[in-house]
């Protein structure tokens, strides 16, 4: 199986085409900002107790019982199918309201269904962020720690004075100051980790510093990253799946239902049934603006409803929400080719989409906005 290196939004990172990509992005984003319909205001969800699946059996709730427009659901499915989706799932109060599959599995062997696995791409960054939080709550590390404390000196090509400014917190917030436009931006080799700005002074979406968090967690806990994840998140939530190295990227593969389980954990502020998996205080920090350079970014989570946002490879600040039709309190894991995990606390909703690249646009968040435009027509 051969899969190209994963980056959020499916943006090509070759510097030779950045100018043309930027022009397309600027035009498309400005068009969305000016002409898209605003999201529908939906009343805040009552304090309904969340349901947690304890096995492969998962309780469902009918859309009609929620007074959702069932005819519009079919229109939503048409949009998803046209966008090369493989899986789509919506939870309400932890129960499955919508679940639909299309096409073949990743190896093209059999029909895609609830047991078929797909890649998370950069949506998997949310898993790593949560695991860093667990390591911190267990006393293994602090976000304020210098990265070199775990990776050793000269883990970059920076002068030592500059390298020592980079912390775990910078890795979590995409503010390492390392150059994101080097020819091989996913490489974690020191010669490819070059100085662009002092840590904390520049926001830039950059896979390599994020990927190195795996080594930080492993060194801090003295446990293999995959095993630590298995013990601390996967086994506690009943998730399936596994991490795989693909070129420079550590990519998680799982079923859509497992992605939904993780979304449910975040929706319940880090608690699975009666067990605290991730401290609520860390969940709150992780899903809030982590710095002023890009207000729509937390700790490896994207945030809707903020005054402005930046996109990968571009230093421009765009006004408004990154998903104009989406709920203002929505937090998101976003991965290449439209891997989406959306958590909406005000509605007790988790929305999942897995699939191929939905359109030729360089920013697949536009497809997520289309999904939410339809969702707004469905929900009362």
- pLDDT per residue over 215-242, tens digit each? 999 999 999 999 999 999 999 999 999 9
Each residue of 28-86: pLDDT tens digit?
Answer: 444 444 334 445 444 444 568 999 998 889 999 999 999 999 999 999 999 999 999 99
pLDDT value at residue 117 = 98
- Over 50: is that where the pLDDT of 192 sits? yes
Give the pLDDT of residue 101. 99
What sign results for the dihedral spanned by CA atoms 224, 227, 232, 237?
Answer: positive
What are the boundaries of each domain within the chain? Answer: 8-378
**For residue 254, what are the β-bridge partners?**
118
The per-residue pLDDT for range 330-358, each reduced to its tens digit, is 999 999 999 999 999 999 999 999 999 99
**Top-confidence residue, 12 or 372:** 372
pLDDT at 55: 82
Residue 72 near residue 374 (C-beta atoms within 8 A):
yes
Residue-wise pLDDT for 11-33, tens only, equals: 434 333 334 434 444 444 444 44
Task: Measure Cα distances from 185 to 15, 122, 322 in Å.
Answer: 10, 14, 24
Looking at residue 256, what is its pLDDT? 99
With pLDDT > 90 as the criterion, what percentage of the chain qualifies? 84
| CA gyration radius, the chain | 20
The mean pLDDT of 92-120, rounded to a whole number, is 97
Cα–Cα distance, 63 to 74 (Å, whole number): 12
Three-class SS of residue 265? helix
pLDDT at residue number 56: 83
To the question of domain 8-378 being in CATH 3.40.710.10, the answer is: yes
Region 352-365 average pLDDT: 86
Tell me the pTM.
0.89
Q: How many other C-beta atoms lie within 10 A of the C-beta of residue 68? A: 20
């Amino acid at each position: 199986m051969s899969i190209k290196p994963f980056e959020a939004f499916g943006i090509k990172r070759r510097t030779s085409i950045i100018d043309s990509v930027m022009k397309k992005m600027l035009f498309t984003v400005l068009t969305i900002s000016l002409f898209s319909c605003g999201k529908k205001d939906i009343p805040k969800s009552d304090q309904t107790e969340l349901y947690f699946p304890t096995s492969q059996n998962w309780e469902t709730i009918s859309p009609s019982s929620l007074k959702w427009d069932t005819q519009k659901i079919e229109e939503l499915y048409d949009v998803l199918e046209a966008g090369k989706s493989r899986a789509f799932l919506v939870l309400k109060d932890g129960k499955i309201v919508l679940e639909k599959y299309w096409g073949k599995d990743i190896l093209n062997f059999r029909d895609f269904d609830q047991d078929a696995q797909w890649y998370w791409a950069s949506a998997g960054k949310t898993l790593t962020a949560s695991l860093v939080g667990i390591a911190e709550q267990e006393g293994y590390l602090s976000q304020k720690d210098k990265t070199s404390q775990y990776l050793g000196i000269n883990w970059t090509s920076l002068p030592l004075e500059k390298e020592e400014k980079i912390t775990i917190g910078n890795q979590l917030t995409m503010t390492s100051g390392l150059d994101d436009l080097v020819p091989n931006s996913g490489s974690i080799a020191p010669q490819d980790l070059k100085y662009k700005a002092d840590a904390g002074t520049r926001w830039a979406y950059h896979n390599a510093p994020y990927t190195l968090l795996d080594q930080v967690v492993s060194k801090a806990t003295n446990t293999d990253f995959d095993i630590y994840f298995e013990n601390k998140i996967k086994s506690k939530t009943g998730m399936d799946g596994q991490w795989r190295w693909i070129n420079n990227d550590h990519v998680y593969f799982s079923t859509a239902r497992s992605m939904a389980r993780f979304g449910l954990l975040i929706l319940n502020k880090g608690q699975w049934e009666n067990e605290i998996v991730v401290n609520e205080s860390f969940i709150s920090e992780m899903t809030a603006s982590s710095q002023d350079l890009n207000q729509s970014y937390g700790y490896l989570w994207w945030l809707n409803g903020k005054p402005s946002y930046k996109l990968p490879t571009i230093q421009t600040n765009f006004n408004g929400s990154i998903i104009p039709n989406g709920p203002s309190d929505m937090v998101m894991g976003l991965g290449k080719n439209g891997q989406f995990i959306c958590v909406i606390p005000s509605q007790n909703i988790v929305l999942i989409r897995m699939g191929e690249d939905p359109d030729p646009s360089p920013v697949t968040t536009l497809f997520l906005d289309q999904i939410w435009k339809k969702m707004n027509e469905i929900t009362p």
